[in-house]
Structure 1
Amino acid sequence: MKIGILGTGGMAATLGGAWTAAGHSVVIGGRSQERAERTAGRIGAAGHGTLADAAGHGDAILVAVPAIDAPQLVGSLAGSLAGRTVIDCTNPIVPTGDGLMLNTGSATSVAHQLATAAPDACVVKAFNLCHVSIWTLRPPRFEDLPLAVPYCSDHPTAAAATQTLISSIGCTPAPCGGLARAAYLEATAALAIGLWWAGGQPRAAFPSLAEVPQSLND
């Protein structure tokens, strides 16, 4: 698959690297051509260029810029993104005295804002729950199970493309409903990352159904 990545930071490099290793054609796009070239070279991407170059390359586009900048950027590229799968991996969170809090600037998710900014694009929320380092694992497996990657999408074609991108790096697609539920993924990221920062283990709050006492399953 052809993948354009908007951004040159950690998520662009690690997810782009995972997809490149899986055989996809990745182009890194950035405001700084020096940084785009450096990121592309580090992961062995097919190429680099401007943000518009990356948007025009991909069957799927990863938005890997700060959440606060993402809606305006996607809006500026709306024409190039029409009909394409646009994956939002951003986390609109800020540290406060009460821990990490959502900061979307509105009552909606960032993913919904991207869909509003580029109404002809097929926006998906995905890849936002894990630390950037997780995507360097080949493949990501924990307790002998492949990592599940939740995603939200309103478009069957975009959902299928996202499932391909998830499966191709050794993970399990976990559909979580339409884009209206993307806010739940963003809130889950704020909660989980806050627990990690506090030294907790978020996975301990979600035991497997196989571990539930049998009498409760009857």
Structure 2
Amino acid sequence: MRIGTLGNGLMAEALAGRWIKAGHDVMIGGRSRERAGELARRIGARAGSLQEAMEYGEVVLLAVPAEVAVAVVSGLELEPGQILIDCTNAVNHQDFTLDEPAMAEAISRAVPQARVVKAFNLAAETVWQDAPHGLGVPICGDDAAALDLVGELVRDLGCEPVHAGGLRRARLLEATAALAIGIWVNGGDVRGMFPPVEIAFGSVPPGS
């Protein structure tokens, strides 16, 4: 699969590096060709501008700071149906709430021709460098084919996609990230917050 990244920071490096090892072709896109080229050389990718990476990718990872994400995608030309993975979190680091109610929805409104999928926002780049085998990765989106394709990329990390609903539910993923970051910064441990599903919900299947 051809994958483009918008951004050449730590998240782009972690995810793109793993996808290259899984056999995908990646182009790192950046506002600075020099910085994009440095990352591309480290992980064995191609390098180009943001627009070139957008055009290259069958799937494109949006991995820029949340505060500029909408402006970045708004300034690019997207083909109708372009699949755009949003891994951003607009977290207010003063009180660890959300600066914006839903980055994924804001991005989708800015580029309505794209198929936006929310994914990879619940963990830092260090996790994606060597994700635990079988780790569940929630993904949200409104297009079934786009969700399936992103699900393949999740599995290529050794993880399991967890379909979490339509794009409107992406705000819940972003709020979960803000909650977890706030707990962690204040010395808490979020790893044991969720009990096994049979304890949390009982043995009755949903909808019964």
TM-score scaled by length of structure 1: 0.89
CA distance in 2, matches of 1:209, 1:176: 15
- Stretches (4+) displaced over 2 A: 79-82
Residue 123 of structure 2, aligned match among 106, 124, 130: 130
Does 1:87 find its partner at 2:66?
no
Aligned-residue offset at 1:87: 0.4
Residue pair 1:111, 1:179 contacting (<8 A) in 2 also? yes
Written as runs of structure 1 = structure 2, the 5 A alignment for 1:5-16 is 5-16=5-16
Residue pair 2:86, 2:117 contacting (<8 A) in 1 also? yes
Structure 2 unaligned spans of 5+: none
Counterpart in 2 of 1:181? 169
Counterpart in 1 of 2:66? 67
Does 1:34 find its partner at 2:30?
no
Give CA-to-partner distance per residue, 1:50-83, whole Å, 9 cap, x none.
0001000001000000111011111111x32431
Q: Structure 1 residues 213, 85: CA separation in 2 closer, same or farther (over 3 Å shift)?
A: closer
CA distance in 1, matches of 2:182, 2:92: 10
Counterpart in 2 of 1:161? 149
CA distance in 2, matches of 1:217, 1:188: 25
Counterpart in 2 of 1:19? 19
Residue pair 1:82, 1:118 contacting (<8 A) in 2 also? no
Q: Root-mean-square deviation (CA), in Å?
A: 1.6
Aligned-residue offset at 1:185: 0.5
CA distance in 1, matches of 2:57, 2:63: 14
Residue pair 2:78, 2:113 contacting (<8 A) in 1 also? no
Counterpart in 2 of 1:111? 104
Does 1:102 find its partner at 2:101?
no
Structure 1 unaligned spans of 5+: none
Counterpart in 2 of 1:201? 189
Give the count of matched residue pairs. Answer: 204
TM-score scaled by length of structure 2: 0.93
